[in-house]
Structure 1
Amino acid sequence: MMGTERRRIGIVGAGWVSAYHLPAWMRQSERAEVVAIADPSRSAIEARLAAFDIARIYTSVQAMLDAEPLDAVDICAPREFHVELVRLAAAKDLDIICQKPLAPSYDEAVDLLASLSGRGRLMIHENWRFRAYYRRLKAWLDEGLAGEIRQVQFEFLSSGMIADAEGRRPALIRQPFFRTQERLLVMEVMIHHLDTLRYLLGEMQVVSARLERSNRDIVAEDVASVVLRRTSDGVLVTINANLAAHGAPPTPRDHLRIFGARGTLELNGNLLSAEGAQQRRESFDPDEIYQGAYDATIAHFLDSLDGKVAMETSPGDNIKTLALVEDIYRLSRFDPERDPL
């Protein structure tokens, strides 16, 4: 492409998460233009058109790909459709950014990547690592504020799966699809944190995992305890996640502590701090953090296409996160049918 030409973008999927993708694209209007959107639900498309000006709409992804001279597609459809949609876009030699996970399982992702044969460029939309406080934390680690790392603890707790007086569960009101996911907490939520921990600390292996389900309104896990080992030095990383924790807020907040020889680095919600040889504190606006991660991910995708930066969440990188996810499920032996409530 010419340096001054805007890329023509097609959006695949008009569901919940597209409401965050579209503002990110609008902020890149000098470099890219969303020219079309496809979703089998016309009502979902109309909900997006109420807030965003998109020239052409389609209820068939194939029809959009056949009719539109696109440069790239942004796949923000549910994960069970990712493999099929990536194949369709790759067949048109388009550049692709696809919401995480690339596929519903590690094996499916490996098979997909083997079949692409270098068609187009593919990035996984894994935006958690692009949150501003994690970029700052990475800079502090690189600066040596923690020194030699000795221990890492990560926790995210929520009361979203606890029913209110009317029997409603806030997490299921916010994201109804949680009800039917056969892989829930680890594949849908913790995958973000696994990717972010890899970004911050390097490669890891799963030592042990325990998964549980708290209620019958879901079919998969919403409680997880995981121990990881950093491959470079054996440092243990513990993760405790619970979406049915009494006393926790309805929406989970990340709580990460990195204990090192020179200091302790801590992210508690939106407050980042360093204690020890150097003391620092920095707070972040939660609304800016959430949308900002989508903005930064889309900007990174365009920067990588322009050759300005190496693509961080390439398929080769993201497959390592999926391998951790798969190992957690394998080691936990979680089976809600075998161990019903």
Structure 2
Amino acid sequence: MTETLRVGIVGAGGIAQAVHIPNYQKCGDKVNIVAIADVDLERAKDVAKRYDIPHAYATVDEMLGAQELDAVSICTPNKFHAASAIAALQAGCHVLCEKPPAMTVAEAEAMASAAEKANKYLSYGFHYRHTQDVEALKRFIDAGELGDIYAATAIAMRRRGIPGWGVFTNKELQGGGPLIDIGVHMLDTALYLMGYPEPDSVFGATYQKLGTKPGVGLLGAWDYENFTVEDMARGFIRFKNGATLVLEAAFAANVEQRDEMNVKLMGDLGGANVFPLTIYQEKHGSLVDVKPAYLPDKPAYELEVERFVDACLGGAAPISTPEQGVKLQRIINGLYASAESGEAVKL
């Protein structure tokens, strides 16, 4: 491995431009973004010019064939995660893939297998793990402060937050709506803090009540005539250790808050709300709330990319693993299957 990580970007859309490229560039001499690939070659060339990236290609295969890369960021719609990640891994690159892992469990398993065969890192873009609230709570959990965490709630609710850009409302390209897009963030955060227990069964329901009608859009006007995903999903997950998790995710719902992203945990020695962090305990005959007086404010996306780079250069391994990606994908797809059948699904 060279001292400078040679990076390629797959997908020249919003997440590449807002997160991956600028945060790689913040790593200074540790990183050289060599190339970018996008099916829209003109967009790839435009982004390459804007961010001073030397090479632009129309496909990931062209980029991997032309350039000697050490790592690749996958920033495409969900449908193309698996193929792009597997191609990069087989070319000998570490991979940072945006969430969710893939469209299907089989794809997530194939990605994990490719990473194992290549002996390369495959990490997923679950940036909430890198927030200071989560990191602080993880230290409390690891120290036993919450005890046995047996119940959790994961919430990713927007009042009218259907994205008015991109392909977020296209089921063919994304696999679903808020469950697989924003719900997956809070689900992963909860699972991470719970120690990623093995799921046993799921029961899910999805709704399409608001997205197919015109309305007020707090994230821009959406194409309601071609809205093919759910606008809300709800789910119940039971784990093999007896713990349970309730999940709510919505792009649009008639709720009070404009945007709520949170995880709530309950253990036999304490509980917690993660955002902002508050820990609930009984100590010395009193019920107490513990809140941090100070937490560092380094952005989670910046930490995510910085730590991936350091891992690729020989530092600590990424905290997101391919095995966790498979487990998460199994839950997501199980919830969609349950919603379609109206029955609980055994995983």
Partner of 1:18: 16
Q: Say whether 1:254 aligns with 2:264.
A: no
1:34-65, Cα deviation, whole Å (9 max, x unpaired): 12112132453355357522222223333322
The 10-residue stretch of structure 1 (27-36 or 93-102) with the greater mean CA deviation from structure 2: 93-102
Unaligned runs of 5+ in 1: 161-169, 336-341
Question: Where do 4+ consecutive residues of structure 1 move more than 6 Å?
Answer: none
Distance in 2 (CA, whole Å) between partners of 1:122 and 1:219 is 34
Name the TM-score, length of structure 1 as normaliser.
0.82
Q: Shift of residue 199 of structure 1?
A: 0.8
Q: Deviations over 1:110-147 (max 9, x none)?
A: 24544667125141323232222211221122233333
Question: What secondary structure is seen at the aligned counterpart in 1 of 2:277?
Answer: strand
Change (3 A) 1:207 1:70: closer
**Out of 272, 280, 295, which is 1:275 matched to?**
280
Equivalenced residue count is 316
Aligned to 1:44: 43
Taking structure 2 as the reference length, the TM-score comes to: 0.80
SS state at 2:156 partner: strand
| Cα deviation code 1:226-262 (max 9, x no counterpart) | 1122433x13221222322224444x32232223333
Q: Which amino acid aligns with 1:211?
A: T
1:236 to 244, 251, 271: 244
CA RMSD of aligned residues (A): 2.8
Aligned to 2:181: 188
Q: Identity percentage over the alignment?
A: 24
C-alpha distance in 1, partners of 2:151/2:61?
49
More deviation in 28-37 or 255-264? 255-264
Distance in 1, Cα, partners of 2:130 & 2:341: 31
CA distance in structure 1 between the partners assigned to 2:334 and 2:13 by the alignment: 30
Gaps of 5+ in 2: 213-223, 343-347
Q: Could you report, residue by residue, the CA deviation over 1:176-234 in whole angstroms, capped at 9, with x for unpaired residues?
A: 412212422222222222222221002142332111112322212221221122433x1
From the superposition, tell whether residues 310 and 111 of structure 1 become closer, same or farther in structure 2 (CA, over 3 Å): closer
The reply to whether residue 126 of structure 1 matches residue 125 of structure 2 is yes
Task: From the superposition, tell whether residues 87 and 241 of structure 1 become closer, same or farther in structure 2 (CA, over 3 Å).
Answer: closer
Structure 2 residue 168 is the aligned partner of structure 1 residue 155: no
Mean CA deviation greater in 134-143 or 46-55: 46-55
Q: Partners in 2 of 1:237 and 1:284 — Cα distance?
A: 29
Letter paired with 1:224: A
Deviation at 1:69, TM superposition (A): 2.1
The residue that corresponds to 2:167 in the other structure is: 177
The answer for the alignment partner of 1:225 in structure 2 is 234
Measure, in 2, the Cα distance between the counterparts of 1:22 and 1:249.
32
